[in-house]
Amino acid sequence: MNKERLKPVLEELREKYEKEWRSVEDTILKHLDEVKETIEQHLKNNQEIDFETAKKIYEKIETIDNLTKPFLLWISPSEGGFARDKHEDTEKIRTKILNNQIIRDFLNEVKSLESLGELQRIKDRLEEIKGTEEIKGISISNLSTWMSIFNPKIFMPTWENTVNKHLRNDLGFNRFWGGDSDIEKFIEFTKTVREIADEVGINSMLEAAFYLSKYERSNVESFSDLLKLLKELKDYYHKEWKEVEKPFMDKIEQIRKLILEKIEGGERFSEEDVNEILKLRNEVPENCKFLLRYFVSAGVPPKEVLIRLLNNKNFQNLVKSISQRKEDEIRKFYKLTKEEVMYVGNSSLSTWLAVLNPEYYMPTWGWEHQSGTLPLVLYKDVKELRSFEKWWTQEPEKIFELFSLLKKVSNEAGINNMFETAFYLNKYESRNIKEKNYWIEIGGPPSKEYIGKYLWAPKAPQWRLLENVQKDDIIYHYVTSKGPEEFGGKFVGKSKAKEKAKEIDKDELVRIMREIDENWDNFFEGWRNYDTFYLVELYDYNEFKQPISKEEVGFNPPQKYFVRAPSEIVNKIEQLTSTQKKSEIDEKTKKKIETILTYKKQLILYGPPGTGKTWLARNYAIEVGQEKYRFRRKTLLGVEFFFWVINPERWDYTQLEEGKDVEMGKGRLKSAFEKINNGDLVFIYVGKQIGKIYGIGKYKYDDSNEKPYLSVLKLFEGPSLNDLRAILKDSIPIKQNLRGTLFPLKPEEGLKLLEASGLSLSDLSLEAEEYSEEVEGIRFVTFHPSYSYEEFVEGLRPKADEEGDIRYEIEDGIFKTVCKDAFNALMNHAGIDKVWEDELPELSYEEKQIVLGSLEDAPKFFLVIDEINRGDISRIFGELITLIEEDKRLFAENELTVTLPYSKEKFGVPPNLYIIGTMNTADRSIALIDVALRRRFGFIELMPDYEILEDKLLSRDDEARDIKELAIDVLRKLNERIRKNYDRDHQIGHSYLLKLEKADTKDKAVETLQFIWYHEILPLLQEYFYDSPEKLKRVLNEAFVRVEENSFDFEYLEGERFVEELRKVAEQEQQ
């Protein structure tokens, strides 16, 4: 244990978190005194503590824990849950602990300790407790919590949260749980921490434990994204979990008890046992059932498979290994069980591990249409999870790596039950927590000093929307006529929410606002009747350079203080404010680009390497376009669509009646039955001679007989097979030629099919909900010699379906994707409710006129193609090379569309898409570019610009100025000689020297210039003149290079020798 390191660590943590501790200290100590007083009263009177009193004691301790994050106190009767006496309920065991005479005597002795010198007495008593059979499951980590309650001056709780892994790794702390109950080390630990706490002026070991629990918890870089997400989900759904935790965990305990008793007794599991397990599973709260969905794989007879699994020797050894905490054996028997028992995979085994030890393991499953415990979208959004994406195919080692990651993150979030973690992560997909929300504050503040500091309103129904604000949400600030006169009727800026809304009392609000303006009470006068207020702290306030009027963005302010910002308002504000930013591009160049893009729609920036082509393309796109564009979409949340195929020769479709439940046959492709949930909508298709959609119903699964049913909602004559091939062209049922029984549909496919069937959502008592979709407004791609049409436009890609068969799907490339996004943004901007998903929508003459009238201020989308000349442009663009011309675009005079070769879809290029390519002339001369391409693109040449260097490097006087001037002179001379000995296309651009801008000392400038010279400039020259050593020698003015016969070597120099040699390069060459 590193004593020297502990002192500065404790001092630093106290400095950082003392204010937080002081805010909860009195409450914690008050509760602890009440707990101690209750127990002492019973000890004094030699009374047993009844069940209800014990329950209140533990609730009080849990209240203390809820004041601290992470929790300080560990009160579980046994850390693994396997040493419990006869596997009794937790509450009963807790009561027994408090009434155990050995424990009572021990706590009396702990209370009487006054100095560290008396610790030997405690050591002896701990040895006695450790050897006592009747309290075998009580560990040091558990006892230390009680010791800290009875004598916080000497003892602190010692468990995973207060002696976390960072402390163990960095300071050599020991574990005191999970079988690591070394009493000698515990006494040494207690003595050391107490002595260091005295040295730094900490009187209570509970205070020391609070600080130590924070060690490195604010800097967990290895899983920071996942941790942040889990904490946000926990904040949002903790109350919901607490409502179901006890009934759910009670059922888990009953299942675990049954399993352990049978295995420890050496008995075989019977069908009656399996029925009991399934009964208990079905009795968990409805919103927790997904946690236990995979006792065995879905779609197989659960009883038969469960009997095989539970009686399997390897599975029983797995259970025993978990009980004994033998990690290697757990992994070994996990693998053997998975290999030996059919229909038992990672999802099933992870569920059983969680049931048997919820402290360490979590059920892992999730599909495209079912969130499960790990929604598939999580793997895409959270980088730490991407390597685990195909969890169902992962080897056991990888699954246990996933368990370890989830456990670490849960610990950091203050979660000790992995079912709780799974409960929160399940919410991710439906809540889409990573997406920012956009809001508008509509207020009349007394002065602009109030803007961007806080949102506040009384806690009342009309202001409840503030409860939905999340951390980092964007708030636009609109000032009414009641505010400062110069800002009335205008948006003046935007800020971000620092945290969710909290509730504060009136006095606290007044105190906070007086810090902004001591006269604030006058403004507050009308609100004094309210006692409780919402408060959201804001940060990163960005005042608009020029306020934006409501007319400019089409905003009609409602009579409300706080509203959601419509996507069209967000897009308009962002578009207008982007033009207010100071441009880094000179006006002449910007005007030239703007002119070419207006008339051509695409241009190529070309020139030697390092002339800023890519920088200019990227920055122009960012200044003129929008990096993100937001749409409002409608969908059904919580309901999925499915497609049921009936073969009338095998299943009598005439039994279908509205309002009647019919049993569904599973047939082929049973995997879809794993994804369907109660309440999902199912289109009924009758094949063969009928050949059309016949009706729609709701799915429901009967647990009592384990059969799927359909409640028929409506029967009708819907689209025929030919119609379906057009409506659902890319859907799974059509791609698989209806070979199967049940197929999942995408939400948009289901809504299309509803419309084609002449049904509305209201016909089914359903309502679409709005959601926000964000697309990239600027996309980047780099061409290379092997880049193809299939990557750029569309092509076939191999995909494995859930049956393991390989099939080929058409996948959109970047160009097709950006064309669709730009078109949809244009429709959204013009107010036309049409979306390009599969087929390019047909517009009426009137709709086209509306689009044409909206083009002037339409959102601009950009595709930046870097190194455009390195690809085979004719092959990459294919037949689309004509479509990019300005007058061939959609809605243009000579509008042109084509049918794409793979998808057979109609395709055109929207007018609000602009293409900027970059071309390095050192790779290929512009003269070699295909004539057809040259005719369709505008061109701007970018050459070395020494004025930029002088402006950037010489604008301030510093000791590095001489070196910077020398660098510019060297570049100028080099390029003169390159033009003379090679050509103008191979000059060296100015951007290489821009790295010198931050060098403000001579030494730093020399060091930076050495890097540029040896790692960027000389390699270029070496490439240019690899077969012409004499020319290279002339270009360098005989500096830095030694030429012998037909070869050359560069001389590596440093410091002053390097500078002197550079001066030779800058000198006039000898004639």
771 pLDDT higher than 70: no
217-221 own/partner pairs: CB under 8 Å, 24+ apart: 217/70, 217/164, 217/166, 217/412, 220/412
Between 460-469, 785-794, 936-945, the lowest mean confidence (pLDDT) is in 460-469
pLDDT band at 85 (very low <50, low <70, confident <90, very high): very low
Q: What digits encode the pLDDT tens for the residues 481-539? A: 888 888 889 999 999 999 888 999 988 988 888 888 777 777 777 787 888 999 999 99
81 pLDDT higher than 50: no
Per-residue pLDDT, 221: 39
Q: Tell me the percentage of the chain whose pLDDT exceeds 90.
A: 32
Distance CA 446, CA 436 (A): 29
Per-residue pLDDT, 781: 94
What string of DSSP letters covers 977-995? Answer: HHHHHS-GGG---GGGGGG
Between 67-71, 74-78, 693-697, the lowest mean confidence (pLDDT) is in 74-78
CB distance 1019 to 967 below 8 Å: no
pLDDT band at 225 (very low <50, low <70, confident <90, very high): confident
User: Mean pLDDT across the stretch 979-983?
Assistant: 91
CATH architecture, domain defined by 772-941: 3-Layer(aba) Sandwich (3.40)
Per-residue pLDDT, 586: 85
CA distances from 90 to 56, 95, 136, 261, 801 (A): 14, 9, 15, 17, 45
Tokens standing for 186? 């515990």
Helix boundaries (H) for 625-772: 671-675, 721-727, 732-735, 747-756
CATH superfamily of 637-754: ph1033 like domains (3.10.590.10)
User: Mean pLDDT across the stretch 350-373?
Assistant: 82
Per-residue pLDDT, 67: 67
Distance CA 312, CA 341 (A): 8
User: Mean pLDDT across the stretch 247-265?
Assistant: 93
**Every domain of the chain and the residues it spans:** 3-219, 223-431, 438-578, 637-754, 772-941, 946-1066
Q: Which of 178-187, 368-377, 847-856 has the highest mean pLDDT?
A: 847-856
Helix boundaries (H) for 786-835: 789-792, 814-830
Name the DSSP letter for residue 1016: I
Give the three-class secondary structure for 293.
Answer: coil
Tokens standing for 664? 């569904």
CB distance 484 to 561 below 8 Å: no
Q: What digits encode the pLDDT tens for the residues 843-869? A: 888 888 888 888 888 899 999 999 998
Q: Mean pLDDT for the chain?
A: 84
Q: Do domains 438-578 and 637-754 have the same CATH topology?
A: yes
Per-residue pLDDT, 88: 45
- Residue 571, exposed/middle/buried by CB under 10 A (0-12, 13-18, 19+)? buried
Tokens standing for 75? 């009160």
368 pLDDT higher than 50: no
Per-residue pLDDT, 598: 93
Q: What digits encode the pLDDT tens for the residues 386-439? A: 777 666 667 888 888 888 888 888 887 888 899 999 999 887 743 333 456 889
Per-residue pLDDT, 222: 43
User: Mean pLDDT across the stretch 805-827?
Assistant: 89
Residues, the chain, total? 1071
Per-residue pLDDT, 369: 43
Between 98-112, 119-133, 1017-1031, 1048-1062, the lowest mean confidence (pLDDT) is in 119-133
CA distances from 686 to 711, 724, 949 (A): 16, 13, 74
* CATH classification number, 438-578, choose in 3.30.750.24, 3.30.300.30, 3.10.590.10, 3.40.50.150: 3.10.590.10
Of 119, 143, 123, 144, nearest in space to 212 by CA: 144
Element holding 39 (H helix, E strand) = helix 3-44
Helix boundaries (H) for 213-270: 224-264
1040-1048 own/partner pairs: CB under 8 Å, 24+ apart: 1040/1065
Q: What digits encode the pLDDT tens for the residues 442-485? A: 998 888 888 999 999 998 877 888 988 888 899 999 999 888 88
Tokens standing for 551? 């007319």
Per-residue pLDDT, 84: 38
Q: What digits encode the pLDDT tens for the residues 634-680? A: 666 668 899 999 988 888 888 899 989 998 866 554 556 777 888 88
User: Mean pLDDT across the stretch 700-711?
Assistant: 80
733 pLDDT higher than 50: yes
CB distance 7 to 15 below 8 Å: no
Per-residue pLDDT, 178: 55
Per-residue pLDDT, 822: 95
Q: What digits encode the pLDDT tens for the residues 265-278? A: 999 999 999 999 98
